[in-house]
Amino acid sequence: MPERPQGSGVYEIMHDRQRRELLRALFWLVCLLPTAAVGAWSYSLRTAGHREAVAERIGAALGMRVTLDAVRYPLPGLTLLEGFRAYDPETDALVLETARLEAEPSGDGLALSAGQMEVFADRGARLFATLERRLKRELPDAEMQIRCEFDQLTWHTAAGPQTVTHFDALVGPTESGRQLLVNFRPADIGGKSGVDEPASLRLARTSAASGAETSVELATGSTPLPCSMFAPLVPAAADFGAEALVDGRFKLKHTPDGWEGVLSGALRQVDFQQLVGEHSSQQLWAEGALRVTWAELQGGRIRRMRGTVEGGPGQISGDLVAAGIEHLGLGDPRVVPTTHAPLLFDRLEFDFTLDADGLRILPRNAARPDALLWHRDTAYWVAPANLPQSPANLLRALAPERELLVPLAAPTAGLLDILPLPQSSPRRDGPAIHQSQLPQPRLRLRGPTGEEPQLR
């Protein structure tokens, strides 16, 4: 038997045809099949089916219907969503829109970024309903931490678009529940930009054995914010006028009995015509400010409040001047103006306190020590002699129909829900009176006049 040549192996003793078949098989296995698989996978990522599947997953996380123009993967771990739009699933109205949204893993969560995000605030309630559901763990992946960074965010409101910059939001779990943290800067308010301290918002949901609670904290930062920015979420913010600005901070918590907490700040450039018109049939034409030095809420009502009202020059209806004198004691009832025409005034200025004891209205101008509302040398309103007085007198001045059983009217209905309730007085036994001397029952309450004491 001949010796086998040294260095020979299986490949050397194979026939040429067998060697070619082996190389061809290796080429298909190692080169063509993986390349074809990668190509097919890459093609599948560009199909409408894949794009719709991605949109459906995002929509489930947002609680809205989502559409995408394209989905791309430019880098490992980075997903590019082009033509991103989110719609209210009930009305199919557009809520969110951006031309380009980037998504990538970040720690235990997900980071989203965009150059420009558009939020249509008249449908923004859907967005906040989604956030609330996430805080309550009602959406998929509620444990995931999500961070959003937008160079600019435009909040479209009925008063016009409001743009903020450096918008940074973080939503995720905490030791006791879930929270949303938001920081942003006004783009340009009053010609100022690049402010030092950003505005901040914290919305937290805390779980406990006694029940879940929602808390809200807001600080406006170094620059006042437009009230109209909050109108889609807090409709009462629109009552202060299109140009009104808010500056301050509050910390509130929602309990089974209602909102409780503290707040302080100022409302500037307030349109008193719109503000008074929302709560009264009377008229006051002026621009001014409302400052709340301190306010405490408990059980959904004002417990204590101290502040200042400033306005003018402007005009005030004769009826409102008369109602202030008659129902709030802001002057001599024997000289009530009889005109219904507007009266010019130079200044409206006073301090006030409101608590369970009642309402106090106090002068604050050193040059006019007793005047609250005046024109030149004539004081329309002066400091009331009766202090404190019932907050119901304020409602009577705003809705001055003297035949009302209670001061309830459509404009004042909202105020009834938040004004403090008076403290109950202990029962006092009076002297015996003959039955014929007792007053007959009456089904109406009249407002205070010169002969009638004000309600306390």
| pLDDT of 9 over the 60 cut | no
Give the pLDDT band (50/70/90) at residue 20. Answer: low
Pick from 240, 224, 152, 229: which is nearest to 189 by CA? 224
Q: What is the pLDDT of residue 433?
A: 35
| pLDDT of 291 over the 90 cut | yes
Pick from 261, 266, 265, 267: which is nearest to 300 by CA? 261
Mean pLDDT of the region 225-241: 84
How far is 296 from 276, CA to CA, in rounded Å? 23
Q: CA-CA distances (angstroms) from residue 268 to 15, 191, 192, 302, 389?
A: 95, 16, 16, 21, 28
| pLDDT of 453 over the 60 cut | no
Extents of the domains making up the chain: 49-220, 257-423+442-456
Tens of pLDDT along 79-128? 999 999 999 888 888 999 999 999 998 877 889 999 999 998 766 666 77
How far is 131 from 203, CA to CA, in rounded Å? 9
